[in-house]
Copies of this chain bind each other. A is one copy, B any other.
Amino acid sequence: MSYIAWIISIGNELLIGKTVNTNAAWLARKLTLLGYDVRRIITVPDNEEDEVEVFRDAIKRGVRVVISTGGLGPTFDDKTSEYLAKALNRKYVINDEALKLVIETFKLKGLELTEPRLKQAKMPEGAKPLPNPVGTAPGIWVEEDNTIIIALPGVPAEMMGIFENYVEPKLREIGPKLHFIERSITVKGVPEADLAPIIEKGMKMSNRVYIKSHPKGHEIRSPLVEIHVYVSSEDVRKAEDEINKVLDFLIFAVKEKGGEVLST
């Protein structure tokens, strides 16, 4: 069983650099902690051709979980649900359950059920709406072949609210039961290039632990490098042992090079 995940970020505001894609980082972190292997984050504009293509591509490749953000709102270019139906070759229809959710929300708030609001109840045939605890647009859960596609709003609080309440529990249930464990050390006084052979040696001590250096200071004048060590494993104890073994080696080797380990 593959546990590959993709994140699809929809919105021109990301492509003109108006908005930093914090949604993708938040979702990537969540999916990683659930044990999924996030292999792509793809940002596409609000248009049919690009959206349909990227959803179809994910299904064709058998990606297990696809999460999209954006395009569920009430304005003219919020068409993720419609394009998703097209990508799936399904009808784009009023979903009874979604309609109930939308009507309830509006009644509760004393709002009129206008055309742009009614649109939020339309989904690909066979989809399941996910209640929105923050706003009005429900999320969408739909499956095709071996792929689960989850469409969430782009407004961060709504995206997070739906994910934590209705997506995370299900993805945990069907997920790989892996634990993601990580540690960081910060090294002062050794340029990244001189850490490279140490990191390579550390990588060879374990075939699961991944080590990555993140330069923070000035490469030459005052090198400061974070070394991030992480592993996904079914067995927390074993994983911690492995990470500790690698960390002990890194700390030893860095000090031998004259480096100072600032924090672990």
For the complex, would chain A's binding face be called helix, strand, loop or mixed by DSSP majority? Answer: mixed
Q: Is the CB of A212 within 8 A of B13?
A: yes
Per-residue CB proximity of A16-40 to B under 8 Å, as 1/0?
A: 1111111011111111100000111
Please give, as numbers and ranges, the residues of chain B lying within 8 Å of A77 by CB-CB distance: 212
Question: Could you say which of B30, B74, B114 contacts A17, with CB atoms under 8 Å apart?
Answer: B30
Q: How many copies does the complex hold?
A: 2
Question: Could you say which of B13, B105, B195, B196 contacts A214, with CB atoms under 8 Å apart?
Answer: B13
Please give, as numbers and ranges, the residues of chain B lying within 8 Å of A203 by CB-CB distance: 76
Question: Could you say which of B41, B195, B218 contacts A75, with CB atoms under 8 Å apart?
Answer: B195
Interface size class of A (residues with CB under 8 A): 35 or more
Please give, as numbers and ranges, the residues of chain B lying within 8 Å of A12 by CB-CB distance: 210, 212
CA distance A74 to B77 in the complex (A): 44
Q: Is the CB of A114 within 8 A of B25?
A: no
Shortest Cβ-Cβ A-B pairs, 4 listed: A17-B29, A17-B28, A74-B193, A41-B43
On A, residues with C-beta under 8 Å from B are 9, 12-22, 24-32, 38-45, 50, 73-77, 105, 109, 111, 114, 116-117, 134-136, 155, 158, 180, 191-197, 199-200, 203, 210, 212-215, 218-220, 228, 230
